[in-house]
Amino acid sequence: MRRARPLLGTIVEIEVDGVAQADAERAIARAFEAVLLVQRLMSFHDAGSDIGRINRAAFRKPVTVHPWTARVLRHAAAFHAASNGLFDCAVGFELMRRELLPSNDLDHVCEGDFSAVRLSEDRSVRLTAPVAIDLGGIAKGYAVDRAVASLRAAGVRCATVNAGGDLRVMGEIDQPIHVHVPGRGLLQAGLLRNGAIATSSSFATVGRNGALESPDSTTDRRAYSVVAPSCIVADALTKILVQSGEPQHPCFGRFGATAFISGGDLQPMAA
Most confident of 4-8, 96-100, 174-178: 4-8
CA-nearest of 104, 96, 232, 218 to 163 is 232
The arrangement of strands across the sheet holding 2-7 comes to 2-7, 10-17, 158-163, 166-170, 195-200, 223-228, 258-262
pLDDT at 206 over 70: no
Determine the pLDDT at residue 220: 64
Q: For residue 219, what pLDDT band results from cuts at 50, 70 and 90?
A: low
Determine the pLDDT at residue 216: 43
Three-state DSSP class for residue 10: strand
Higher pLDDT, 204 or 81: 81
Give the pTM: 0.88
Higher pLDDT, 180 or 10: 10
pLDDT tens for each residue of 122-137: 999 999 999 999 998 8
Mean per-residue pLDDT for 251-257?
Answer: 96
Fold classified for 2-33+142-262: T-fold (3.10.520)
Architecture of domain 49-127: Orthogonal Bundle (1.10)
Least confident of 209-213, 222-226, 251-255: 209-213
Domain range list for the chain: 2-33+142-262, 49-127
pLDDT > 70: percent of the chain: 90
